[in-house]
Amino acid sequence: MRYRLLSALVASAALAVDAAPAAAATYDYIVVGSGPGGGPLAADLARAGYSTLLIEAGGDEGDNPTYAELATFNEAANDEATRWDFWVKHSDDPAREMKFKHTTWDTGDGTFYIGLDPPEGAKHLGIQYPRAAVLGGCAMHNAGVCSLPQEDDWNIIVNKTGDTSWEAHKMRKYLTRIEKNEYLATGVSGHGYNGWLATSRGDAGWVADDSNPGTKIFKKMAEVLGLDPKHAVEMANGDILGADEPKDTTNAFYNMVQHGGKDGKRSSPNNYVRATLADPKKYPLTVQLRTLVTKVLFNTTTSGLPRAIGVEVMEGASLYRADPKHIPGTKGPISQIFAAKEVIVSGGAFNSPQILKLSGIGPAAELNKFNITVIKDLPGVGEQLGDNYEGSLLALGKAPVPIPGLVTALFRTPSAPTKKRNIFTWCGTFSFEGFWPGFPTDYGPNEFECALVHMAPKSQAGTVKLLSADPQDVPDINFRFFEHGGEKDLQELVEAANMMREAWQAGGDAVRPFEELHPCPGMQGDKRAANCTDALQAEYFKEQAYSHHATSTCAIGADNDPLAVLDSKFRVRGVVGLRVVDASAFPVVPGAFPSLPTMMLSAKAFEDVLADAGKLSGGSR
């Protein structure tokens, strides 16, 4: 049964959360979006003494066990209480799109059909890409996996902008600032112990049992990756966030870290925002829920660059059409709220570019098409959409593989273009094949999978484009997977699957043979079947790859880059008083999981905002 917060009038921070600000109120800062970028930033600004309004389109599910317990993340991502359904495309090829096995259709009777043979009259929706409209954003429905970007993912900003504050070794301080480490002894260098974000990991002691088929697979994986299986226990407890962990060019195993406490409770911006609201120091933070920002307001009447002075909002629940609870024709009252210093947009890789475009910032031709007054022609808004390619090796064993945890590794495949690791994998008794309403498929206790995340994709050719000037409308999203360098990326995914398949065979007769479900359906054991050529596997990954780490649609870039949207301080180019602080700011996809990097990015943005505080006057409305 779905849990509902019955009343906002509970003895918690939720009481303050539901209080709407007075009409035409003015704050020092307005932050739009409460996810990993915006939520922590709003709390930090309030704790620094600035009156801050945090606007969130969804509600607060912080007391809801479905969201508070990390183990129920699949339920959280499926929950209509917070889910926004974006129906995306992976390419411009309609025939290829119709090969995605989890294509979703609206049957017209309130249900979805998932698959390639829809009932007559069903409406094609596309590929589901769920986002979370809730206090805390997508950090409230994800699996909480923590990893750091490769050093080059930070250093690329230095190379593009000349801003040395982005150097990789300097970025670690933001991890130590926000982290509350619960899995190491206090004092281990490179970690934080007093921050707002709890980090923890499970027990990898099962690796010491040499009779366990999972241990045998683990040790064979070590051999395949060029590591010494004699050090299995040590490797299984590797610290993926460690300051002295093997760097980006070294194959290594880790014990998976999550942003949650050792009690299994999720730790997210929701906790930090609520703690800030409840603090006896009464920090000047106001949170307005169930409010859709329709555009940023600008002063264009004075000399100089246009200046952001506030936002226009529509108040009400489920106003955005991505919300499955949205009732067609529903609107809410519209009002304006003003910012004396800055407006900070943190809506994520889909909604931040949409908000900028609705506000008149984006490609002029696209804005003119919808009669939107151009405030600043910025061709890069909504461009360069990137994501990790994800796929999996999934099979059914003869019996369950008896391991209570996950095998996690970062490694380099033979054809990787550089010496850097290009694959993040975690293997265990689970099934995950992407997103569709009701995911994932439970294949029973014998299921075994190695999920594969491809890092540093060579193609960031996706786009987020308006379908109309209506802020309740959902944009057109096309990832254009594998458009550039696709053959090389596919080869790397195939190599990773082949390496994992080889390791599985060490599991022994207790669990073998593994009957593969994909990418080589029906294959048993290590004998390469006719349907398991590298070419057929590449075709499978091209058609069935999925993703959920969208970035780069408002990217930081150089002054002479026509697609640069932000400078190195997150400031939107060509205007004053406006920043974007979320995963859309990354020039490239940051490693394998962007949640923690985005929280670190938020902590850096706080410093940059403070550095500019006082430089901007209140200005004319």
Q: Under a CB-based contact definition with an 8 Å cutoff, are residues 582 and 347 in contact? A: yes
Q: How many CB atoms lie within 10 A of CB 589?
A: 27
**What distance in Å separates the CA atoms of residue 198 and residue 267, rounded to the nearest whole number?**
6
Torsion of CA 500, 503, 507, 513, to 10 degrees: 60
CA 598 to chain centre: 8
Q: Is the previous residue joined to 363 through a cis bond, with omega within 30 degrees of 0?
A: no
Q: Is 407 annotated as a binding residue?
A: no
Helices (H), 31-93: 38-47, 65-68, 73-78
Nearest to 104 by CA among 78, 82, 81: 78
The single-letter code of the amino acid at 43 is: A
Strand runs labelled E in 301-383: 307-315, 334-345, 361-362, 376-377
The DSSP line for 588-605 is: S--SS--HHHHHHHHHHH
Tokens, residue 613: 């505080």
What CA–CA distance (Å, rounded) separates 620 from 600?
34
Token digits of residue 336: 């304006």
- Cis omega (within 30 of 0) for bond into 402: no
At 272, is the secondary structure helix, strand, or coil? helix
Three-state secondary structure string covering 404-466: CCCEEEEECCCCCCCCCCCEEEEEECCCCCCCCCCCCCCCCCCEEEEEEEECCCCCCCEEEEC
- Spatial separation of the C-alpha atoms in residues 296 and 305, rounded to whole Å: 15
313 is in an annotated binding site: no
Cα–Cα distance for residue pair 69/82, rounded to 1 Å:
16
23 carries a ligand binding annotation: no
Best CA proximity match to 569, nearest among 226, 559, 560: 559
- Tell me if 21 sits within 8 A of 582, measured CB to CB: no
Is 143 assigned to a binding site? Answer: yes
- Alpha-carbon distance of 562 to 556, in angstroms, equals 11
Question: Distance between CA atoms of 55 and 471, rounded to whole angstroms?
Answer: 15
User: What's the token pair of residue 130?
Assistant: 């769920």
C-alpha 123/C-alpha 126 separation (Å) is 9
- For residue 183, which phi and psi values (nearest 5 degrees)? -120, 0
Spatial contact of 192 and 180, defined as CB atoms under 8 Å apart: yes
- 394 neighbors 434 (Cβ within 8 angstroms): no
Confirm if 426 and 450 have CB atoms less than 8 A apart.
yes
State the Rg of the chain over Cα: 24
What's the DSSP call for residue 193? Answer: B
User: Is 144 labelled a binding residue?
Assistant: yes
- Going by DSSP bridges, is the β-strand pair 334-345/26-32 parallel, antiparallel, or unpaired? parallel
- Does the annotation flag 11 for ligand binding? no
Extract the tokens encoding 370.
Answer: 């919808």
C-alpha 438/C-alpha 20 separation (Å) is 34
Binding site, residues? Answer: 134, 142-145, 293
Binding site for FAD, residues? Answer: 134, 142-145, 293
